[in-house]
Amino acid sequence: MPGVCEGPVGGVDRGHQKGGNVNIRRIHLQNFRLHADTEVFVPAKGVTAIVGGNETGKTTILEGLEWAFSGGDHTRGKVANLRWFGAPPRSGAKVTVDFSVGGKEYRVERLESTARLFAMPAETVIAQGTTPVSEAVTELIGMTHREFISTVFCRQKDVEALSRMGATDRVAFIRQVLQMEKIDEALKNLRKRKNEMAARLEGMTGSEDDLKRAEAEQREVTARVEASGAAVHAVGKELQSLSEHMSDATKVLAEERQKKGTFRDLTHRLEMAKRVREGIRSQFADLEQQIAAGKEAEAALEDAAPEGLIEELRDYLHECRRNRQRLQQALDAMSRASAARNGAVLNLKEHESRVEELQCALDAVEYDPDLLAKLDAQIQEMSRAHSETVGALRGEIEAHRTDERKTLRKIEAIKQAGEGACCPTCLRGMDGEVFDQVLESLNDHLRVVVKDAEHKEELVRQSNEMTRRGLAELRAARSDAEQARDAHKSVSSDLIHWRREVKVAEARLEEAASRRNEARADLAKIEKLDVPEAEELRSMEQELDAKVAERVRLESRVEALAVASARLERLQADHDARTVEVEALTSKIASIGFDEERYLQAEESVGGLQEKTNQAEVALSARRATYGAQKDELSRVTVRVESLREVVSSLEAQKAEYRTVTKATEMMEGFRVAVTSTIRPEMEELMSGFYAALTDGRHEAVELNEDFSAQAFEAGHAPDTLSGGASDQLALAQRLALSLMMAQRSGNPMNLLFLDEPFGSLEESRRMNVLNLIRDLSGVFTQVVVISHVAETKDAADYVVELEHDPSIGASRVVAA
């Protein structure tokens, strides 16, 4: 179990020597890019070769180390794409690196979203979280990420980039790698500071003179302020005495004003009271006139239109009107009764004539009550006799017809039997004559029989005809008799009805006659009463109306008299009250003792004092403004004097500081020149050594120009052109020289060097040189790791790790170590 420290992690064990002597032990990649699970051990000393075909994940191992130490997006691609494509779900990319610094063991472990740094072997967590771990590693190895990779990692792409760089970029790159820019930065800051101080000191020169001038001004302004103060005081005093006078005068004026107010108020009220009294007086005459008229009317009232007379006249008129009405009604009733009686007479006459008519009609009807029965008996008798006769005749006809048929059959039989045969009846033999005789007699008999039958049929016919005609006559007579009977019956009933109606009409006539008599009696009675003519009646009415109108007129005057008397009384009382009020107000006004002249004097005196006070106030505020302005000026001058005093006193200190900064700048400039001048010879020397080794001593020396571009020398000559391979080697030599210088300059001896594909496009013999150089470098760097697809690299290595891509799992694996 790794121990987890309490509290904020990230602090590095201060017991270690900071930086230096970094040694890598193990790099373990899990689900990182094309590594599913690759573990590479690196021996503490010597050259390790990591070999394998193209795209077997060699460079990725280097990037895994870089990511574990620094995190972030420093490697190719994004963090999001770090995870192996074939990684099982929920297992992220993870890189673990075991390493030592100054002999102490550590482990850094980084996942996509977190990281931890352990102190080994106790596994104590000393930093946790992506950024804290990166910062802790930087502190531990004593290098920033940038410094670390430009020193420790010598990558093919860096070498190529260096050889392709233009002069300016190269100088900048080298200066940056060697941290010259830090010196430049420091120098820039020093110069800036120096310039700022110079400008400030420039601004401060002359401030001593300024101070003297300011002090003189301060004295002058102080004197002015004092004079102004005295003036303000004097005006203030004057104003105070004015204000005392003013307060007395104001008091007097206030009293006068109050008196004036009361006086005005009372006078107004007196005026009002007088006006009201005048108004009352003006109403008196009018009222008295009304009263006189009323009294006159009162006297005239009984003479002109006595109430009793009017009443009598009214009653009489009323009586007359009623009598006229009754008379009219009686006349109407009379004429109605006469009309009714006349109607009844007419009615009766009508009914009587109707009865007469009906009696004549009844008499005209020939009606025998037994006739119908007689006719019915005759009809019956005739029918019976007829059927009897016809029955007898029919019997005889039947007998004749039977005889006829018999005779015919006999004749037929005799004819058939012919002459000589026996007579069928008498059964005698018949010879010719007999035969003929028999036939003759038989035929005679037949003729007689037929004639009889026909005769009798004729008799039946005659009887039928006679009976039919007789019956028709009888039936016609019968229907006449029926009609006569019906007519008799209906006329009789009408007659009965109308006779009754006549009785009723007689009764009505009697009643109408008696009513007419009554009406006539009534009329006679009324005609005896007093009924004046309509014209007379109208003139009497007019007379009455005139009397009534006169009375109403006089009565209204009498009524007005009462009202006017009451009003007069009230007004009298009111008038008296007003008179009392007028007297009271007059004596009050006299008691106030208000004098307009005195009042005006008081007003004038207050106005005069007010004006004086205003003038004094204006003067005071002007003096005060001057005083305030002068005081402000004084305080401004005082501030200036103070600040100038400060400036003068700090001037010395600043001058001393300026001298120090100037000195430091000069020293830094000297230091920069010294450093720059040593870089080139040092790099030249290192490059010469590396280049000679890489070219088998064919190029014995390298010279660096101002811009750090290299010139190789061969047998004392400088060729203008170099082969591609040679220039690659020159670049490699420069890159190695840089790494070495950087390692030395950082103050920490760097023991570690990674070379990724250092051979470039070199031919085999030259590759050997590189390998030899690498072996030589192992004398300088404790741990050298060479990454290459070139198989010979293995020959130069103390330890080999061989990688292969396994298509069955879609990831790389270590095949030999």
Ligand X SMILES: Nc1ncnc2c1ncn2[C@@H]1O[C@H](COP(=O)(O)OP(=O)(O)O)[C@@H](O)[C@H]1O
Contact region with Mg ion (CB under 5 A), list: 24-32, 55-63, 630-638, 774-782: 55-63
**Partner whose footprint covers residue 75, from ligand X, Mg ion, none (CB < 5 to 8 Å by kind):** none
| Binding region for ligand X (CB under 6 A) | 33-34, 52, 54-60, 81, 83-85
Q: Is residue 719 reached through a cis peptide bond, with omega within 30 degrees of 0 on the bond before it?
A: no
Residue in 439, 412, 410 with CA at minimum distance from that of residue 424: 410
- Residue 30 binding Mg ion, by CB under 5 A: no
Q: Which is nearer to Mg ion, 30 or 59 (CB)?
A: 59
Q: Cβ of residue 81: shortest distance to ligand X, in angstroms? A: 6
Q: For residues 413 and 398, is the Cβ–Cβ distance under 8 A?
A: no
**Partner whose footprint covers residue 33, from Mg ion, ligand X, none (CB < 5 to 8 Å by kind):** ligand X
Q: Cβ of residue 815: shortest distance to ligand X, in angstroms? A: 13
* CA atoms within 13 A of residue 58's CA, in its CB half-sphere: 27
- Residue 734 binding Mg ion, by CB under 5 A: no
Contact region with Mg ion (CB under 5 A), list: 56-64, 276-284, 491-499, 682-690: 56-64
**Partner whose footprint covers residue 143, from ligand X, Mg ion, none (CB < 5 to 8 Å by kind):** none
Q: Cβ of residue 77: shortest distance to ligand X, in angstroms? A: 7
Q: Which residues is 94 bridged to in the sheet?
A: 30, 111
Q: For residues 129 and 67, is the Cβ–Cβ distance under 8 A?
A: no
Burial of 168 (0-12, 13-18, 19+ CB in 10 A): exposed
Q: What is the 3-state secondary structure (H, E, C) of 409-440?
A: HHHHHHHHHCCCCECCCCCCECCHHHHHHHHH
**Partner whose footprint covers residue 689, from Mg ion, ligand X, none (CB < 5 to 8 Å by kind):** none
Q: Cβ of residue 704: shortest distance to Mg ion, in angstroms? A: 30
Look at residue 128 and give its three-state secondary structure: strand
Q: Cβ of residue 790: shortest distance to Mg ion, in angstroms? A: 12
Q: Which is nearer to ligand X, 60 or 150 (CB)?
A: 60
- Residue 665 binding Mg ion, by CB under 5 A: no
Q: For residues 157 and 758, is the Cβ–Cβ distance under 8 A?
A: no
Q: Cβ of residue 65: shortest distance to ligand X, in angstroms? A: 12
User: What b/e string do you get for 388-400 counting C-beta neighbours within 10 Å, with b at 16 or more?
Assistant: ebbeebeebbeeb
Q: Which is nearer to ligand X, 630 or 788 (CB)?
A: 788
Q: Cβ of residue 706: shortest distance to ligand X, in angstroms? A: 37
Q: Which is nearer to Mg ion, 59 or 751 (CB)?
A: 59
Q: Which is nearer to ligand X, 70 or 630 (CB)?
A: 70
Q: Cβ of residue 72: shortest distance to ligand X, in angstroms? A: 17
Q: Which is nearer to Mg ion, 59 or 812 (CB)?
A: 59
Neighbours of 8 (CB within 10 A): 9
CA angle 313, 314, 316 (to 5 degrees): 65
Q: Cβ of residue 31: shortest distance to ligand X, in angstroms? A: 8
DSSP run (H or E) holding 785: strand 783-788
* Sign of the alpha-carbon dihedral angle for 658, 660, 666, 671: negative
* β 811-816/799-806 pair status: antiparallel
Helices then strands (H, E): number in the chain? 15, 14
CA atoms of 3 and 122, how far apart (whole Å): 7
Neighbours of 259 (CB within 10 A): 16
Residue in 73, 111, 76 with CA at minimum distance from that of residue 91: 111
Which residue's CB atom is positioned nearest to Mg ion? Answer: 59
Q: Which is nearer to ligand X, 93 or 115 (CB)?
A: 93
**Partner whose footprint covers residue 96, from Mg ion, ligand X, none (CB < 5 to 8 Å by kind):** none
**Partner whose footprint covers residue 542, from Mg ion, ligand X, none (CB < 5 to 8 Å by kind):** none
Q: Which is nearer to ligand X, 69 or 435 (CB)?
A: 69
Neighbours of 101 (CB within 10 A): 22
Q: Which is nearer to ligand X, 98 or 756 (CB)?
A: 756
Q: Which is nearer to ligand X, 81 or 493 (CB)?
A: 81
Q: For residues 585 and 266, is the Cβ–Cβ distance under 8 A?
A: yes
**Partner whose footprint covers residue 760, from ligand X, Mg ion, none (CB < 5 to 8 Å by kind):** none
Contact region with Mg ion (CB under 5 A), list: 18-26, 58-66, 494-502, 727-735: 58-66
Q: Which two tokens stand for residue 201?
A: 């000191």
**Partner whose footprint covers residue 56, from Mg ion, ligand X, none (CB < 5 to 8 Å by kind):** ligand X
Q: Cβ of residue 68: shortest distance to ligand X, in angstroms? A: 15
Q: Cβ of residue 730: shortest distance to ligand X, in angstroms? A: 24
Q: Cβ of residue 63: shortest distance to ligand X, in angstroms? A: 7
In angstroms, what CA-CA distances link 189 with 235, 663, 668?
Answer: 64, 14, 11
Look at residue 5 and give its three-state secondary structure: coil
User: What b/e string do you get for 656-686 counting C-beta neighbours within 10 Å, with b at 16 or more?
Assistant: eebeebeeebeebeeeeeeeeeebeebbbeb
User: What b/e string do you get for 175-196 counting C-beta neighbours within 10 Å, with b at 16 or more?
Assistant: bebbebeebeeebeebeebbee
By CB under 5 A, the count of residues binding Mg ion is 1
**Partner whose footprint covers residue 34, from Mg ion, ligand X, none (CB < 5 to 8 Å by kind):** ligand X
Tokens 């008696």 label which residue? Answer: 514
The phi and psi torsions of 710 (rounded to 5 degrees) equal -100, 145
Selected from 30, 38, 48, 59, the binder of Mg ion by CB under 5 A is 59
Q: Cβ of residue 165: shortest distance to Mg ion, in angstroms? A: 22
- Residue 793 binding Mg ion, by CB under 5 A: no
Contact region with Mg ion (CB under 5 A), list: 57-65, 166-174, 662-670, 724-732: 57-65
CA atoms of 131 and 633, how far apart (whole Å): 60
**Partner whose footprint covers residue 294, from ligand X, Mg ion, none (CB < 5 to 8 Å by kind):** none
CA atoms of 219 and 213, how far apart (whole Å): 10
Q: Which two tokens stand for residue 385?
A: 């006799």
- Residue 60 binding Mg ion, by CB under 5 A: no
Q: Cβ of residue 84: shortest distance to ligand X, in angstroms? A: 4
Q: Which is nearer to ligand X, 157 or 461 (CB)?
A: 157
Q: Which is nearer to Mg ion, 434 or 800 (CB)?
A: 800
Q: Which is nearer to Mg ion, 59 or 228 (CB)?
A: 59
CA atoms of 434 and 426, how far apart (whole Å): 12
Q: Cβ of residue 34: shortest distance to ligand X, in angstroms? A: 3
**Partner whose footprint covers residue 55, from Mg ion, ligand X, none (CB < 5 to 8 Å by kind):** ligand X
Look at residue 124 and give its three-state secondary structure: strand
Q: For residues 127 and 5, is the Cβ–Cβ distance under 8 A?
A: no
CA atoms of 483 and 364, how far apart (whole Å): 13
Q: Cβ of residue 55: shortest distance to ligand X, in angstroms? A: 4
Q: Which is nearer to Mg ion, 10 or 64 (CB)?
A: 64
**Partner whose footprint covers residue 795, from ligand X, Mg ion, none (CB < 5 to 8 Å by kind):** none
**Partner whose footprint covers residue 38, from ligand X, Mg ion, none (CB < 5 to 8 Å by kind):** none
Q: Which is nearer to Mg ion, 59 or 407 (CB)?
A: 59
**Partner whose footprint covers residue 630, from ligand X, Mg ion, none (CB < 5 to 8 Å by kind):** none
Q: Which is nearer to Mg ion, 57 or 294 (CB)?
A: 57
**Partner whose footprint covers residue 84, from ligand X, Mg ion, none (CB < 5 to 8 Å by kind):** ligand X
Q: Which is nearer to ligand X, 38 or 769 (CB)?
A: 38
Q: Cβ of residue 757: shortest distance to ligand X, in angstroms? A: 8
| Most distant CA pair in the chain, distance | 231
In the complex, which residues of this chain contact Mg ion (CB under 5 A)?
59
